[in-house]
Structure 1
């Protein structure tokens, strides 16, 4: 499973998910939105069958069904009053919807 985190994303995850908490940042892809698929990011305990990726002291969990959709992606974080937050830069995406919250592969 090949997913990268930018330094800014890694720094933000550190502030949101203390390693001692046992929680992880979990990412999954599910059907939805006007373009077909959407990302879901959550801070939670990892699920039993999740693929776990370690970045220094941070763990990223990916559900197995989402792996084919996310392989080769980079997770970034953008600071800002509007449109700030985590974003997935995915080379497999062919198009996105007008608002940018869903995508097609």
Structure 2
């Protein structure tokens, strides 16, 4: 398991030796509203020890679809990043390639509500925003 990039500052804390972690950018970025909402959901579930797993699976109307769920089973080859509000995000190696540079946001408004992923690797997305190619 490794912690990556900009998210590393939250995992290491003050006074830690950041040289023990690889210098990379995080595979996916969480906005502050997304991290806050994930923390609210974890607190509501009473699941402090779980991480948010973000994955890409074959399927959907454009070829791939996003999957997000809370997971306590982190594999040794998973990429892990910690964000504000002590939110951990886990991505498997195959999904990490497709999520490189993506952003997970949360909106709570009249015209949009829920989580949304903006992925620079997607050449095409469907109307629902849940699948891409």
The verdict on a shared fold, with TM-score over 0.5 as the criterion, is: yes
Judged with a 3 Å threshold, the aligned counterparts in structure 2 of structure 1 residues 43 and 82 are, in CA distance, closer, same or farther, namely farther
Q: Distance in 2 between matches of 1:103 and 1:34?
A: 8
TM-score scaled by length of structure 2: 0.69
Q: Give the superposed CA RMSD.
A: 2.0
In the other structure, the counterpart of 1:29 is: 56
Are 2:9 and 1:9 equivalent residues in the alignment? no
Q: Where does 1:80-95 land on structure 2 (aligned, <5 Å)? A: 80=109, 83-95=112-124
Range moving further from structure 2, 28-37 or 10-19? 10-19
Task: Report which of the two has the higher share of strand.
Answer: 1
Are 2:82 and 1:54 equivalent residues in the alignment? yes
User: What residue ranges of structure 2 are gaps of 5+ in the alignment?
Assistant: 1-25
Q: Is the radius of gyration larger for structure 1 or structure 2?
A: 2
TM-score scaled by length of structure 1: 0.86
Aligned length: 104
